């Protein structure tokens, strides 16, 4: 978390004021752009959403995603800092790309999160990753559309490779942290397994929230007992 403003130097205060000001502006802008697409479609086609259908669907979606939203803010902000968090939430793909990029950049630079150095490194790394990702996607779309047909990517022999991209990414990222904090990892895994035994259909967002809270509580208890 950022330090209290009364403990900040004028340089730090000016930096965080600008980060929050621009971060809020771009976040609001991104939300408006996302909402404008369905609005424009409705205006163009002269249709409106079915009110009864919304009443049935929205409560279920809100129950699923509000816990995910809270869990992501609690989990990501301390690790990515203010600038990195705003960039991540605006550009998206946080858990798959922005979080690993920020953590690996700080690890490579041998700096810690929640420090001035960590704040700067994470923000730069996530900003660069967003630019590089956009360029790679644009180039990939053009190349694949010109030389590779959709039937190639949908071939049964290639599909299993896409199924293992995310596990491979998280496995490589998590290995070093599992080695350093194996006691907390045991708690997180056990809590997740126990919860899924009693509630196999629980949503990922709710499970993540429960696991984070349990791990934080276990970490606090272990620290007090001087186990870590």
Q: 186-204: per-residue pLDDT in tens?
A: 998 999 999 999 988 887 7
Q: How do the domains of the chain map onto residue ranges?
A: 1-147
- Name the residue among 166, 157, 172 with its Cα closest to residue 103: 172
60 CB burial (10 A radius; 0-12, 13-18, 19+) = exposed
Share of the chain above pLDDT 90, in %: 27
- Whether the model clears a pTM of 0.75, i.e. scores above it, the answer is no
């Amino acid at each position: 978390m950022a330090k209290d403003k009364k403990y900040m130097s004028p340089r730090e205060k000016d930096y965080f004021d600008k980060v929050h000001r621009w971060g809020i502006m771009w976040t609001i802008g991104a939300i408006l752009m996302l909402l404008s697409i369905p609005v424009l479609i409705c205006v163009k086609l002269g249709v409106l959403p079915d009110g009864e259908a919304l009443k049935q669907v929205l409560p279920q979606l809100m129950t699923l995603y509000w816990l995910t939203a809270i869990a992501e803010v609690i989990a990501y902000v301390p690790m990515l800092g203010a600038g990195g968090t705003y960039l991540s939430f605006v550009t998206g793909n946080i858990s798959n790309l922005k979080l690993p990029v920020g953590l690996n950049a700080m690890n490579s630079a041998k700096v810690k999160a929640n420090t001035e150095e960590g704040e700067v490194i994470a923000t730069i790394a996530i900003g660069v990753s967003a630019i590089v990702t956009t360029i790679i996607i644009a180039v990939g779309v053009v190349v694949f559309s010109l030389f590779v047909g959709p039937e190639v990517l949908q071939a049964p022999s290639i599909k299993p490779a896409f199924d293992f991209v995310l596990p491979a990414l998280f496995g490589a990222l998590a290995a070093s942290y599992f080695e350093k904090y194996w006691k907390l990892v045991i708690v997180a895994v056990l809590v997740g397994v126990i919860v899924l035994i009693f509630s196999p259909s629980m949503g990922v967002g709710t499970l993540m929230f429960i696991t984070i809270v349990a791990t934080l509580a276990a970490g606090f208890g272990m620290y007090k007992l001087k186990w870590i």
